């Protein structure tokens, strides 16, 4: 691996060590990444906006902070001087926030979202805003207004969505972390398809204020990174200081009980995904985890309930803003059709879905408690990254809608409001990444990160896509 590649794919901890040793400066690193983005982004389309001037200014400030630290006037955190990206539905003062839409193409917020403020306070360098599925309302990041984000592992394939630009930027070595959003898998799906780590926090753990909403009940904001440790550092910077995640002791880690649901998650699964998942389970068992087959009631109902809630809430927001149906022609066809679905959700259907959600939350936590489980373990996506435009996928001779497959295994965590993390667990025979997902209790982000770290450390060091 060349020196440039080593630097592009270094961990946040490795970069911070270089900073402290004086072997690299935030300004040098930011310049390096800006040049790399200029070279590679045209073929990947991960970034919609690159804030070169703002990034260089932030890098200078981070550099100055290191100088002050040497004089013992300031203690710096691990993100100081670290270049990251933001999904382009997160408000950034003075930088356009398009939501991946034509409607907001020229929208420039006056203030930063709280998650951006937290990152800036930690000294992070914001490189720019990443591409996404229009209004975060889809899972492909095939955007009709800004073009498709391409998967760095195979440029003919999708990066996933809706945080596809964030995941592709990380996989291509164009940032060291990113912040995305997740309403039905929009962090975990692209993380799985691009071979990185993605954490959807639990309810109330990261502020969703200052983010273009999709579904206020189901929306979450969370970090994506190339390693579990990097994801942990980002989560620590953006998470609420109240209600810290429960921590597991080393003895608890040795006696992990992980639940494998009997229903739903394995009904439609690509054979290579299933093989990689079973291999990951064997690794976890070798590291002391006990695997328990469990029944999780109401899983089959989560898909329709999540749809009813998301359709209704998304359409209501777009109606309130005066965009739909007045500007219906300005939406891509897929998003426009889903907004129409929202118009047709009755009040009774919406309220029934909310009631089912409450019941599912009770059942979910009852299983965790009654079976003394620390978390559930399931595949992240039933399939590897499909080709751009591949709307149908065949599994074992049966045809499925690709969008539904990608959402299928991720919706339950949003409906329950619990944390979930996707971690790389191998590759297909054609070198497409695969992911495994852990779902935990409400305050279980730290526990999930520790479980994910156990798996990550036992697997071979990940490869990186070869980009010209």
Of the chain, the end-to-end C-alpha distance in Å amounts to 14
- Pairing state of beta strands 220-225 and 290-294? unpaired
Residue from 159, 163, 178, 186 carrying the catalytic annotation: 186
CA separation (Å) from 27 to 63, 117, 213? 7, 21, 34
Q: What are phi and psi of 465, to 5 degrees?
A: -65, 145
The strand ranges marked E within 131-170 are 142-143, 147-148, 150-151, 154-158
- My answer on whether omega of the bond before 97 falls inside 30° of 0, hence cis, is no
The strand ranges marked E within 186-324 are 197-200, 220-225, 257-261, 290-294
Could you give the angle at the alpha carbon of 71 between the alpha carbons of 66 and 73, nearest 5°?
80
- 146, 220, 158, 143: which is closest to 185 by C-alpha? 220
Catalytic residue flag (residue 162): yes
- 147, 154, 174: which is closest to 32 by C-alpha? 174
Q: Are 163 and 181 in contact (CB under 8 A)?
A: yes
The 10 Å Cβ neighbour count of residue 114 is 19
Q: What are phi and psi of 266, to 5 degrees?
A: -120, 15
- 118, 111, 134: which is closest to 210 by C-alpha? 111
Residue from 85, 87, 102, 178 carrying the catalytic annotation: 87
Give strand pairing partners of 435: 424
Measured distance CA(134)–CA(126) in Å, rounded: 22
- Pairing state of beta strands 47-50 and 83-87? unpaired
Q: Quick one: tokens of 380?
A: 């992240």
Give strand pairing partners of 126: 84
Q: What are phi and psi of 408, to 5 degrees?
A: -50, -50
Q: Are 132 and 141 in contact (CB under 8 A)?
A: yes
DSSP H helices, 45-112, are: 52-70
DSSP code per residue over 114-137: HHHHHHHHTT-EEEEEE--SGGG-
Residue from 85, 101, 159, 162 carrying the catalytic annotation: 162
Catalytic residue flag (residue 25): no
How many residues does the structure list for the chain?
468
Catalytic residue flag (residue 69): no
- 317, 307, 413, 313: which is closest to 353 by C-alpha? 307
Measured distance CA(406)–CA(190) in Å, rounded: 10
Which residues are tagged catalytic? 87, 162, 186
């Amino acid at each position: 691996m060349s020196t440039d590649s080593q630097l592009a794919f270094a961990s946040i901890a490795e970069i911070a060590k270089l900073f402290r040793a004086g072997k690299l400066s935030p300004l040098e690193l930011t310049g390096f990444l800006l040049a790399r983005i200029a070279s590679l982004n045209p073929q990947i389309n991960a970034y919609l906006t690159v804030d070169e001037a703002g990034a260089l200014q932030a890098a200078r400030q981070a550099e100055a902070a290191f100088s002050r630290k040497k004089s013992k006037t300031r203690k710096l955190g691990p993100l100081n001087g670290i270049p990251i990206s933001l999904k382009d539905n997160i408000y950034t003062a003075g930088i356009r926030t398009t939501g991946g839409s034509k409607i907001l193409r020229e929208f420039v917020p006056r203030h930063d979202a709280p998650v951006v403020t937290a990152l800036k306070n930690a000294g992070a360098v914001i490189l720019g805003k990443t591409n996404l599925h229009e209004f975060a309302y889809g899972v492909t990041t095939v955007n009709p207004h800004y073009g498709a984000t391409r998967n760095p592992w195979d440029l003919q394939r999708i990066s996933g969505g809706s945080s596809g630009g964030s995941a592709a930027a990380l996989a291509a070595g164009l940032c060291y972390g990113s912040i995305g959003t997740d309403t039905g898998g929009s962090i975990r799906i692209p993380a799985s398809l691009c071979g990185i780590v993605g954490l959807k926090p639990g309810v109330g753990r990261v502020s969703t204020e200052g983010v273009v909403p999709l579904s206020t009940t189901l929306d979450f904001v969370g970090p994506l990174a190339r390693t579990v440790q990097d994801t942990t550092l980002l989560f620590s910077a953006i998470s609420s200081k109240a209600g810290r995640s429960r921590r597991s002791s080393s003895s608890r880690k040795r006696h992990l009980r992980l639940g494998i649901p009997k229903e739903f998650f394995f009904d439609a699964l690509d054979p290579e995904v299933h093989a990689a998942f079973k291999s990951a389970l064997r690794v976890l068992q070798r590291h002391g985890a006990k695997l328990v087959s469990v029944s999780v009631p109401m899983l089959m109902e989560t898909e329709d309930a999540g749809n009813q809630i998301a359709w209704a809430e998304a359409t209501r927001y777009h109606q309130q803003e005066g965009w739909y149906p007045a500007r219906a022609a300005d939406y891509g066809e897929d998003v426009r059709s889903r907004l129409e679905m929202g118009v047709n959700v009755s009040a009774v259907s919406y309220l029934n879905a909310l009631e089912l959600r409450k019941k599912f939350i009770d059942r979910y936590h009852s299983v965790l408690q009654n079976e003394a489980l620390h978390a559930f373990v399931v595949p992240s996506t039933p399939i590897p990254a499909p080709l751009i435009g591949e709307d149908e996928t065949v599994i074992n001779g049966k045809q499925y809608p690709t969008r539904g497959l990608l959402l299928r295994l991720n919706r339950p965590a949003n409906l329950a409001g619990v944390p979930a993390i996707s971690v790389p667990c191998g590759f297909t025979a054609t070198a497409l990444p695969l992911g495994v997902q852990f779902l935990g209790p409400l305050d279980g982000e730290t526990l999930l990160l520790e479980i994910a770290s156990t798996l990550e450390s036992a697997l071979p060091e990940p490869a990186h896509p070869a980009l010209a």
